[in-house]
Amino acid sequence: MLTLENIWASYGPVQVLSGVSLEVPAGKVITLLGGNGSGKSTTLKTIVGAVKASAGSIRFEDKEICGMEPREIVPMGISLVPQGRRIFAPLTVMENLRLGAYARRRQEKSKDDFEAIYEWFPEVRQWLRRKGNALSVGQQQLVAFGRGLISRPKLLLLDEPSSGLAPILVERLGEIIMKLKESGMTILLVEQNVHLALSVADYGYILRDGKISMAGPTANLVGDGDLIRHYLGG
């Protein structure tokens, strides 16, 4: 569904991605792991066009999308749930959700879209009039997922959804991802929480210094002692 080929990207003088290639097949959950500053988030930002790649190719459903703007890419069916959830604090939950469907602008079906979100997360219905800054972290998490799903994306990009979450919420997060997976959603999951990532994903890539340093089915990665060395050295 999504193919990255030899993607390079930099912030000013800092080279962040130095030739990243990876593949996300339809209906699978793929995880991208790596330490702080290894370029995981940048990879996701490059896919939606928020960061411009300096070289390489990104194909989504056989269409080249590298170089396009987010407002062109998002309606094609890619949705990014950003790191830290980034709910718009001064906006109500309802408004946050509506913005999830902004790029697509299919207003006529929006009622159905909302119903679908309530089916996923029934609690959300009760908070619709609440402001974003009145939500707990756990509630924000659900709203962020809702905002990402309301446009009915074909590909969901999750940027460290577990960051800043209490352990119990991490568990809930794992359940949500599993449910999404069962529904047939294609997901690219960037995570710091290796355990979570490996328990939900089919296939994993490990990013180091802007390059893919390891890849394989998650079953193989789990047993690999190299992983720890990746994170804590030694």
Q: To the nearest whole angstrom, how small is the minimum distance from the Cβ of residue 88 to another protein?
A: 5
Q: How distant, in Å, are the alpha carbons of 7, 14, 50 from that of 11?
A: 14, 5, 12
Note the residues at the interface with another protein (CB under 8 A).
10-15, 35-37, 45, 48, 50, 69-71, 74-75, 80, 82, 84, 86, 88-91, 95-96, 98-100, 102-105, 107, 147, 160, 162-164, 167, 170, 192-197, 222-223, 225, 227-228, 231-234
Beta-strand ranges (E) seen in 98-202 are 155-159, 186-191
Q: To the nearest whole angstrom, how small is the minimum distance from the Cβ of residue 164 to another protein?
A: 7
User: Rounded CA gap, 136 and 139, in Å?
Assistant: 5
What's the gap between Cα 72 and its chain centre? 18
For another protein, the closer CB: 14 or 62? 14
For another protein, the closer CB: 117 or 184? 117
Q: How distant, in Å, are the alpha carbons of 150, 196, 215, 220, 225 from that of 208?
A: 33, 19, 12, 18, 16
For another protein, the closer CB: 13 or 184? 13
Q: To the nearest whole angstrom, how small is the minimum distance from the Cβ of residue 205 to another protein?
A: 16
For another protein, the closer CB: 116 or 222? 222
Which residues is 33 bridged to in the sheet? Answer: 191, 206
